[in-house]
Amino acid sequence: AQSVTQLGSHVSVSEGALVLLRCNYSSSVPPYLFWYVQYPNQGLQLLLKYTSAATLVKGINGFEAEFKKSETSFHLTKPSAHMSDAAEYFCASYNFNKFYFGSGTKLNVKP
Amino acid sequence: SAVISQKPSRDICQRGTSLTIQCQVDSQVTMMFWYRQQPGQSLTLIATANQGSEATYESGFVIDKFPISRPNLTFSTLTVSNMSPEDSSIYLCSARYNNEQFFGPGTRLTVL
């Protein structure tokens, strides 16, 4: 069975600090992996995706994620948080025409 | 990219009634999906709606409760039937286009 686990339902960082949102996947076959962001009252917006090319993936708004097969992880990072990054972030895996979403991590950015 | 719109954006409904949510995509897509996002939880796939065939439902979801229509390549509807407070949720439409997944803004449903 496939699943995606996001460690930490809430993460709080100060503006300018490093953002690290954790995601681990379980799958018998290495899946495609995604990070989505959801702002209040909006749909999901794709941040970045891993599709078995480069293991370090750069996305929009300065975010990047690294696929580590040995750790079955796809953590999302950003060197310096901005107030506008406050949102909910979802990690997702895609395999066999289905998406599997993590439970989401709400990022709070303190001034 | 594909732009997805949903109507209504939100609604408050009485127990026992039904609500139909509309999803419109600005491009022709083969695969459309309906998700539920319950309060404080992640997205759960309800069903896959392909044009010209019956929707395929995930475990725990049945056609009688969530009938789906897919009359053409740009439109789909999801009906939440005989609603109860447990159906209070955000319902999101999604479509696969050019090997990417796009999501609508969601319909926030509250059942009293």
Tens of pLDDT along chain B (112 residues)? 889 999 999 999 999 999 999 999 999 998 899 999 988 788 899 999 988 888 999 999 999 999 999 999 999 999 999 999 999 999 999 998 887 888 999 999 999 9
Query: B38 — contact with chain A (CB < 8 Å)?
Result: no
Token pair of B51, please? 């044009």
Q: Is A62 exposed, middle or buried (0-12, 13-18, 19+ CB in 10 A)?
A: middle
CA gap A21, A34 in Å, rounded: 13
Q: Which of B4, B45, B106 sits opposite A99 (nearest CB)?
A: B45
Q: B54: buried, middle or exposed (CB in 10 Å: 19+, 13-18, 0-12)?
A: exposed
Residues belonging to chain A with any Cβ–Cβ distance to chain B shorter than 8 Å: 34, 36, 41-46, 49, 90, 94, 97-99, 101-104
Contact between chains at A104 and B45 (C-beta distance less than 8 A): no
What are the pLDDT digits (tens) for A3-35?
Answer: 899 999 999 999 999 999 999 998 777 788 999
Q: What is the pLDDT of residues A35-59, one digit of tens each?
A: 999 988 778 889 999 987 788 999 9
> Which residues of A fall within a CB distance of 8 Å from B103?
36, 43-45
